[in-house]
Amino acid sequence: MDKNEIKSIIAARVAKELKDGDVVNLGIGIPTLVPNYLPKGVNVMLHAELGCVGAGPKPEMGSEDPCVVDAGGQPASCMSGGSFVDSATSFCIIRGGHVDATILGCLECDEEGNMANWIIPGKKCPGMGGAMDLVVGAKKVIVAMEHTAKGKHKILKKCRLPLTAMKCVDMIITEQGVIKVTPEGLVLCDENGTVLDAPPHLRPSKESAFHLGIYRIRPSAQYVLHAHPVFSTIWSMQNQELPLYTESAKLKLVHVPLIPDGQPGSVDLAEKVLTAVSHTSEDTTAFLMEAHGVLILGETMENCFHQAELLEDSAKIAVFQKLLHP
């Protein structure tokens, strides 16, 4: 593959990590190609630290505006509804935690999530730019880079170059694969998120198929919680919808659909889960899985836990109500 093809492969894979409505900052190099590969229906707000909120794809030759450039100084565009702000405001957006993801190039990364992307001692480099703010201010840090440089590995046991920041990288994407950074080490995945290589304790749940599917069909779901609480599982075998007795449950859970039974870890179960989720409104975020457990979708993990707790309390009330009044 030539360089341009490699860069396109990396940029296209990075684009799959972005969700509709995300605020995203792009670094120089490969990251600037990402807007050209956004999936259909995924609209993101691109932020450039030099002061553009709502940056668009690279303009066609001949239609460039010399006043609108990307982080690398190359011609850029501004989407309808976008705006230009001063540098101080732009960095307030970053430091205030309003950027959902930043995509950066890198010279070196290591297994601890440390990154070095600003200088090679003794050589001329573009410098730090806004990277040191982005890697601590953005909610997710994705490194997009070629796997090697002149035959030398760029993903190391320990970075050798001066660091941009420590333990800041969440994901590394190269033309060779997708690597997730965890506290216990690196996890190698294929382009669909399937784990190819990882220590046994880092391998994902056998139900990862429906987890990944939910993220694709319900972009508002930032977290997916699947558990097997006792009373919720008992009620799931009653083959009827869970009655909600308390005002809190009626207000927060609204409606709890029952997903038909399926063999754990099977394609059949994944299809049943995704069918149920796709046929319900965005307001429906709690599900019972027949003879299995619960499925909760939420904007935060804390929100998922609260829903699961409320669902279990509601199931407990329903079980005792049925025992006392058969």
**Residues designated catalytic:** 49
Q: Which residues of 193-218 are buried (b: 16+ CB within 10 A; e: fewer)?
A: beeeebeeeeebeebbbbbbbbbeeb
Q: Are strands 223-227 and 293-298 parallel, antiparallel or unpaired?
A: antiparallel
Q: Are strands 101-104 and 293-298 parallel, antiparallel or unpaired?
A: unpaired
Rounded Cα distance, 237 and 53, in Å:
50
Tally the C-alpha atoms within 13 A of residue 292's C-alpha that lie toward its C-beta: 20
Rounded Cα distance, 273 and 178, in Å:
26
- Tokens 């609108």, residue located: 68
SS3 state at 52: strand
Q: What is the DSSP string of 99-112?
A: -SEEEE--SEEETT
How is residue 14 written in tokens? 């990075």
SS3 state at 19: coil
| Euclidean distance between the first and the last CA atom of the chain, given in angstroms as a whole number | 69
| Cβ-Cβ contacts under 8 Å for 29 (sequence gap 6 or more) | 72, 105, 144
Rounded Cα distance, 58 and 103, in Å:
17
Phi and psi torsions of 298, nearest 5°? -160, 170
